[in-house]
Chains A and B, each alone.
Chain A
Amino acid sequence: MSDEEKDEMVGYRQQPGKISFSRPGSGGKNSFSEPRDEKMIPESQGGMKKQPWGNHRHDNLITGRVVGKPTSLVDSNWKVTGRAKYGDDIRLPNELIGKIVRSPYHYARILSIDLSDALNLPGVVSIATGDDAKNKFGVLPVTKDEHAMAVDRVRHIGDLIACVAAEDEATALEAVRLINIEYEILDSIHDMKDGLKDSEVPIHDRGEYHIGEANIQKRVFQEFGHIKSMKKNAVASHKKNWFFNGVNHAATEPHAVVADWDPSGRLTLYTPQQVPHYVHRALADVLEIPMHQINVHRTFVGGGFGGKSDPFPHEMCASILARKSGRPVRITFDREEVYWINRGRHPSHIEMNLHADEEGRLCGIETDALIDGGAFASFGHVTTYYNGVLHTAPYEIGAFHYTGARVWTNKPASGAMRGHGAVNSRCAVEVGIDDISEQLQVDPISFRLANLLPPHSATITGFRVTSIGMRECLERVMKESGWKDKFRKMPLGHGIGIGCGFFISGSGLPIHWDPNKFPHATVHLKIDMDGGVTVHTGAADIGQGSDTVVAQSVAEVLGLPLDMIRIKSRETDTSPVDLGSYSSRVTFMNANAAISAAMEIRNDLLDATSEITKAPIEKLVIGDRRIFRKDDPAIGVSYLEALHKAQEDRGALVASGAYRTPPMGRAHKGAAAGLAPAYSFSAYVAEVKVDVETGQTKVEKVWAAHDCGKALNPLAVKGQIIGSCHMGMGQVLSEEMRYGRTGNLMNTDLLDYKIPSVHEMPHVTPIIVESNDPEGPFGAKEAGEGPLLPILPAVCNAVYDAIGVRMNELPITPDRLYKNIERKCRDLKIDDPADLPSPRLKHSELQDILEKRAGEHSIRDKERRLSSEIEPYHNGALFGMDPTIPPDEVDESWEVTVIPSEEYLENPRLAGSAWVHTERRKREGLK
């Protein structure tokens, strides 16, 4: 492309048809080819790009085209011009409008449903109830507990009972009102603590696996490490009982779906889904038709954040109504219905205990997490594990004791939300470290730097951690925030705080195990004589930019401009199976699959070039739309020439690439939960201003460092970091699903569900740390969820630094904080909160010890990340164990226990008390 042409490309204001496109090249003297950007080519390949974190297996695929350059998303023009079709934008001819009849009661048995009045209403075409689809579904195969519409019972206000399809919305709404339902009201449960007790009519019946007669959906007990000595060795301990209110994803787009049965008898479901594949499976189960008769068409997704990752009952409803009526049916939610389907972050009671020994090591973490699942299982099985296992890193710890339980209550179901299961307990850990550091009189950043796991190590539960940029994240935010001049040094009302994060980059095991050796992600490529590359992927672009990252990966390997790549990711009919956009797996797995598919095509092109130029393949490199001899760039062919040669006798080039995680982890029960092929790390510093007279907290600045391995698209990574700050700030300061005294959700609208406005948004400085993950595509790891974690504790710790008050309930709304300020004033016998003392820090001797250790570890870590032969390093080495063997294999005082002892059950913690119950099958066994 000439400079002139380039100048014309000024973005979306370009009229369609006037955008100057890249040309594939015409062969011979190629005026379109740009020289290779040597600054983007790694040193290992003779380029100028420095590699402080070592080489990568994808180095030889770098053509310097697009990877690592800030790139606007490939679908952005569609969005900014209003041409993108979201769920409710799908308009099929002859459509009907569907509306859902929902429960007005928390918990009730349905005695009868009278449809006659509604059916007689002119304009009503079909009505369905629970009888029309009795098969259960659910996102996890182990906990399928949902129906399309209530069978026998409704379990929360807003639970689905029936649905109506009519000629227009007004008629459908009228029909909803005309359906008469008789109920028998049952005693409902709202406090999650009550869920731990036996109940007369448990919300679900798990048959022989039912735990007691209680409402416990899942319980976890885990002990790792030197449990017996952790308290004995502790010189400082932290204990805090937290309550985290539930929060909702509050995506801009409410759920919407269109179902259409075509004349050949196949179903197409248009839905803004994060996980089309699971809907695909669930539809087949519920509708009792084979999967090959269903096409799930993912529309543009107006924000997901985990809120569109379950297969949903309304998707079933639309399909059932469309089948009954023979016409397309569209259902669009009101905002209120979004809160009723929920799947937001679990309301949680978390008890956090940390212990540190005299050397300033974390000799123990004890966590107890009771989480409120609402009425259905959703992802809850996994969430229960995640609340524990996802805080076993980045710190090396002496012991880890975790008890977790998830209970059913008569509320909208909780589920997966950005930072799934990790956010609340991470906040509790990081606040605990702040407190422990204060007790030890050391700087909390120094404490962290002296306790980090090194690269290529195993956590206490046996997670394989590869690249770690945690140290760099901490060092960068410390420097850029001016931490040393501010921490514990600012006047009352001004504070600064640190928080860290650790998150999975894809889950090691797919949710569905069968067929069990399937890849997690598959990408197909097709290139015909026009030179454009068609990419088929099932990765669901939910706004995070997965289409762009897949296009970038292919473009990079083939040396093509981005506009020559066309992504087809919408329909299950054409795209290979992909497990969906959750657990931050998409960039890692799909880009890896895309790279391996592109490598096949690359080989074809190199073969063809070699044949034309007679140059040996090893001497060839791929540049911009041109393949040439590295030592004599004049010898080469255009991309199109090579392509046409490769196409001789076979036509279009096609290739398939796949990614599957390597075998990992240990064998104990629950060992798979939290396993990931890589982990992301982050550290944020927040600076806040607290008004001591009103309790209002304003976050003024955030320095946010995130280790994403390699920023394939730095623009998108920064966007994710800033967006995460916004979302996390909502949870820490203002957002909550507030239940009133009658158990009703009081704020089912965006005026009373308080998402921070632009006025609340601080200045965020995103800092990208690139630790070059060996397994990641070009070194990349996730950047979509992990960045949310640290903002919560960073703000909590900053509030403490500002006014000396530690909160134990989120969000820190002014009224809650003010209550704590009053309490503090009473305790200190101070009348005016303006006289409160600001926390100050005088270092103890331990500070020097920690700084020295951190210095040594820093050298250790650098050596480990660059070394080609790395010795194993298991958590426990810091406590004097042999790093090369898991401590429990050589020392029996290091435990791996997943069943509580009799002794524990005599005095269990809150969630731990779930283990007091016996499963039905074991009770009956005793009889």
Chain B
Amino acid sequence: MKMPPFKLHTPSSVEEAIQIAKNLQSKKEDFDWISGGTDLIPNYKWHLNPKKNVISLANISQLTELTETTIGAMVRLQDLAESDFTHPVLAKSANSIASIMIRRSGTVGGNICLDTRCYWYNQTEDWRETIDWCHKCDCGTGADCRVIPNQNTLCVATYQADLAPVLMCMEAKVHLISTSGKREMDLVDFFELDGMKKNKLLPGELLTHITIPEEISSWSGDYQKLRQRESWDFPEAGVAALWKKRGEKLEKLRIATTGLESIPGYHEDLAMEFVKNWSGEESIKQLSEKIRKAVKPVANTWYTPSYRRKMVKVLTKRACKELMSE
């Protein structure tokens, strides 16, 4: 397995990094950012859309800030999982990612911007040649989608990262920078419903950090994940639930899902419908059924779509277990 050759750039500041990106753009040269590399390098080895240039963020210390409200893009997943600053639900989801070795290398920014995954895409070059390529990495052939042939303009590769649903429930904001300036947006709005485009990052733009509202520390919740093995495997489905109580009364409830579509799903509206007349077990039952109906997985991961949908219901129920007794 040999990676195609690329030029590695190693800036030591954000400013230098975006400048390199801009210069490459002006020369019409393509590039990728690399942080922990646990997603990008395997993809490069399989020749999945490799670029001629790779800009490493490893030397940029500005990006490693970690407080209760700010998480730098270059914070390692294991550091996030272990930090005293990290909200327990976020720590739980971080701790469930892949294996400890991957978590020690993989980063928060990389996990949020994780490439979408698909059985017909995450394969070696030789393998993909045998199916005449696919939509997402078509090698210039204009190949069709192999999951849903003949009807798809969007790529349906699945977003299988664990942090996003929890951060969405936290109403986290992502902060982006490019030579055109800084901007921020709600994480909920960050993703694009196309497995190829994935998110709103513009060419040359970099995710620098995430901010979390301070009040979240008083919220409770849970993250539930479905996968074959307790290590390594990407989530086949994941459900995050976060809620706020006033006294014993449920005041706010947010639910988000991952591993089911090409973007993580945010289901705050569905959840809030039930909050006013929350009745514990029965509400959870109805809510989890609604979440099940709200997600539409396709057949491109290890488990069947129908099973994943059914399990979303179970995961939602389990994530809300603490709200059962109301």
Q: Which residues of A contact B (CB under 8 A)?
A: 102, 104-105, 157, 169-170, 173, 334-336, 693-694, 734, 740, 742, 744, 746-749, 751-752, 754, 756-760, 813-815, 818-819
Min distance, Cβ B128 to any Cβ of chain A, angstroms = 10
- Main SS class of interface, A: loop
Number of A-B pairs whose CB atoms are under 8 Å? 65
Q: Is the CB of B231 within 8 A of A815?
A: no
- A751 partner residues in chain B, CB cutoff 8 A: 232-233
Q: Is the CB of B231 within 8 A of A744?
A: no
Q: Is the CB of A104 within 8 A of B129?
A: yes
Complex partner residue of B130 from A744, A747, A814, CB under 8 angstroms:
A744
- B123 partner residues in chain A, CB cutoff 8 A: 748-749
Query: B126: CB under 8 A from chain A?
Result: yes
Q: Is the CB of B231 within 8 A of A758?
A: yes
Q: Is the CB of A170 within 8 A of B2?
A: yes
Given contacts A334-B124, A757-B230, A814-B307, 11 further A-B contacts (CB under 8 A): A104-B130, A157-B130, A336-B127, A742-B131, A744-B127, A744-B131, A748-B127, A757-B231, A813-B303, A815-B303, A815-B307
Q: Is the CB of A694 within 8 A of B131?
A: no
- B126 partner residues in chain A, CB cutoff 8 A: 102, 104, 336
Q: A334-B124, A694-B314 are in contact. Are A813 and B228 (CB under 8 A)?
A: yes
Q: CA A758 – CA B101 in complex, angstroms?
A: 14
- A818 partner residues in chain B, CB cutoff 8 A: 307, 310
Complex partner residue of B229 from A173, A693, A754, A819, CB under 8 angstroms:
A754
Q: CA A135 – CA B224 in complex, angstroms?
A: 58
Q: CA A754 – CA B302 in complex, angstroms?
A: 10
Min distance, Cβ A341 to any Cβ of chain B, angstroms = 14
Q: CA A813 – CA B311 in complex, angstroms?
A: 14
Q: CA A169 – CA B229 in complex, angstroms?
A: 35
Closest B residue to A754 by beta carbon equals: B228
Q: Is the CB of A814 within 8 A of B228?
A: yes
Q: CA A759 – CA B231 in complex, angstroms?
A: 7
Closest A residue to B315 by beta carbon equals: A694
20 contacts between A and B (CB under 8 A): A336-B124, A336-B126, A336-B127, A734-B229, A740-B119, A744-B127, A744-B131, A746-B119, A749-B123, A752-B302, A754-B229, A754-B233, A754-B302, A757-B231, A757-B232, A759-B229, A759-B230, A760-B229, A814-B228, A814-B303
Query: B279: CB under 8 A from chain A?
Result: no
Q: Is the CB of B119 within 8 A of A757?
A: no
Closest B residue to A335 by beta carbon equals: B1
Q: Is the CB of A694 within 8 A of B311?
A: yes
Q: CA A813 – CA B146 in complex, angstroms?
A: 24
Max count, chain B CB within 10 A of own CB: residue among A105, A334, A758, A815: A815
Closest B residue to A813 by beta carbon equals: B228
Q: How many residues of B contact A (CB 8 A)?
A: 26
Complex partner residue of B2 from A105, A173, A756, CB under 8 angstroms:
A173
Min distance, Cβ A511 to any Cβ of chain B, angstroms = 33
Query: B62: CB under 8 A from chain A?
Result: no
- A336 partner residues in chain B, CB cutoff 8 A: 124, 126-127
Query: B226: CB under 8 A from chain A?
Result: yes
Min distance, Cβ A528 to any Cβ of chain B, angstroms = 48
Query: B153: CB under 8 A from chain A?
Result: no
Residues 117-138 of B, flagged 1 when their CB comes within 8 A of A and 0 if not, give: 0010001101101110000000
Closest B residue to A157 by beta carbon equals: B130
Q: CA A734 – CA B230 in complex, angstroms?
A: 12
Complex partner residue of A693 from B124, B127, B314, CB under 8 angstroms:
B314
Q: CA A813 – CA B226 in complex, angstroms?
A: 12
Q: CA A819 – CA B311 in complex, angstroms?
A: 12
Closest A residue to B98 by beta carbon equals: A751
Min distance, Cβ A468 to any Cβ of chain B, angstroms = 38
Closest A residue to B313 by beta carbon equals: A693
B window 196-234: CB within 8 A of A = 226, 228-233
Max count, chain B CB within 10 A of own CB: residue among A102, A169, A744, A813: A744
Closest B residue to A693 by beta carbon equals: B314
Residues 150-170 of B, flagged 1 when their CB comes within 8 A of A and 0 if not, give: 000000000000000000000
Residues 246-268 of B, flagged 1 when their CB comes within 8 A of A and 0 if not, give: 00000000000000000000000
Q: CA A828 – CA B62 in complex, angstroms?
A: 61
Q: Is the CB of B307 within 8 A of A734?
A: no
- B286 partner residues in chain A, CB cutoff 8 A: none
- A819 partner residues in chain B, CB cutoff 8 A: 307
Q: A102-B126, A744-B130, A748-B124 are in contact. Are A815 and B304 (CB under 8 A)?
A: yes
- A157 partner residues in chain B, CB cutoff 8 A: 130
Give the 10 A-B CB pairs with smallest separation, nearest first: A759-B230, A815-B307, A757-B231, A104-B130, A815-B303, A693-B314, A757-B229, A754-B228, A157-B130, A334-B1
- A744 partner residues in chain B, CB cutoff 8 A: 127, 130-131
Q: CA A818 – CA B311 in complex, angstroms?
A: 10
Q: Is the CB of B229 within 8 A of A756?
A: yes
Min distance, Cβ A311 to any Cβ of chain B, angstroms = 24
Residues 41-63 of B, flagged 1 when their CB comes within 8 A of A and 0 if not, give: 00000000000000000000000
Min distance, Cβ B147 to any Cβ of chain A, angstroms = 10
Closest A residue to B230 by beta carbon equals: A759
- A734 partner residues in chain B, CB cutoff 8 A: 228-229
B window 1-41: CB within 8 A of A = 1-2
Q: CA A819 – CA B304 in complex, angstroms?
A: 11
Min distance, Cβ A56 to any Cβ of chain B, angstroms = 45
Closest A residue to B129 by beta carbon equals: A104
- B131 partner residues in chain A, CB cutoff 8 A: 742, 744
Q: CA A102 – CA B130 in complex, angstroms?
A: 10
Min distance, Cβ A877 to any Cβ of chain B, angstroms = 48
Residues 77-111 of B, flagged 1 when their CB comes within 8 A of A and 0 if not, give: 00000000000000000000001000000000000
Min distance, Cβ A354 to any Cβ of chain B, angstroms = 32
Q: CA A746 – CA B127 in complex, angstroms?
A: 9
Q: CA A335 – CA B129 in complex, angstroms?
A: 17
Q: CA A752 – CA B228 in complex, angstroms?
A: 10
Q: CA A819 – CA B307 in complex, angstroms?
A: 8
Q: CA A258 – CA B235 in complex, angstroms?
A: 40
Closest A residue to B317 by beta carbon equals: A693
Q: CA A746 – CA B232 in complex, angstroms?
A: 18
Min distance, Cβ A105 to any Cβ of chain B, angstroms = 7
Q: Is the CB of A105 within 8 A of B127?
A: no
Closest B residue to A735 by beta carbon equals: B228
Residues 290-326 of B, flagged 1 when their CB comes within 8 A of A and 0 if not, give: 0000000000001110010011001000000000000
- B230 partner residues in chain A, CB cutoff 8 A: 757, 759-760
Min distance, Cβ B73 to any Cβ of chain A, angstroms = 25
Q: CA A758 – CA B99 in complex, angstroms?
A: 11
Q: CA A693 – CA B3 in complex, angstroms?
A: 43
Closest B residue to A811 by beta carbon equals: B228
Max count, chain A CB within 10 A of own CB: residue among B127, B131, B230: B127
Q: CA A498 – CA B310 in complex, angstroms?
A: 32
- A752 partner residues in chain B, CB cutoff 8 A: 119, 302
- A334 partner residues in chain B, CB cutoff 8 A: 1, 124
- A740 partner residues in chain B, CB cutoff 8 A: 119
Min distance, Cβ B79 to any Cβ of chain A, angstroms = 22
Min distance, Cβ A460 to any Cβ of chain B, angstroms = 40
Q: CA A758 – CA B230 in complex, angstroms?
A: 9
Min distance, Cβ A111 to any Cβ of chain B, angstroms = 18
- A742 partner residues in chain B, CB cutoff 8 A: 131, 146
Q: CA A759 – CA B233 in complex, angstroms?
A: 12
- B311 partner residues in chain A, CB cutoff 8 A: 694
- B228 partner residues in chain A, CB cutoff 8 A: 734, 754, 813-814
- A759 partner residues in chain B, CB cutoff 8 A: 229-231
Min distance, Cβ B309 to any Cβ of chain A, angstroms = 11
Closest B residue to A173 by beta carbon equals: B2
Closest A residue to B42 by beta carbon equals: A751
Q: CA A742 – CA B314 in complex, angstroms?
A: 32
- A169 partner residues in chain B, CB cutoff 8 A: 2
Closest B residue to A752 by beta carbon equals: B302
Q: CA A543 – CA B127 in complex, angstroms?
A: 31
- A694 partner residues in chain B, CB cutoff 8 A: 226, 311, 314
Min distance, Cβ A822 to any Cβ of chain B, angstroms = 8
- A748 partner residues in chain B, CB cutoff 8 A: 123-124, 127
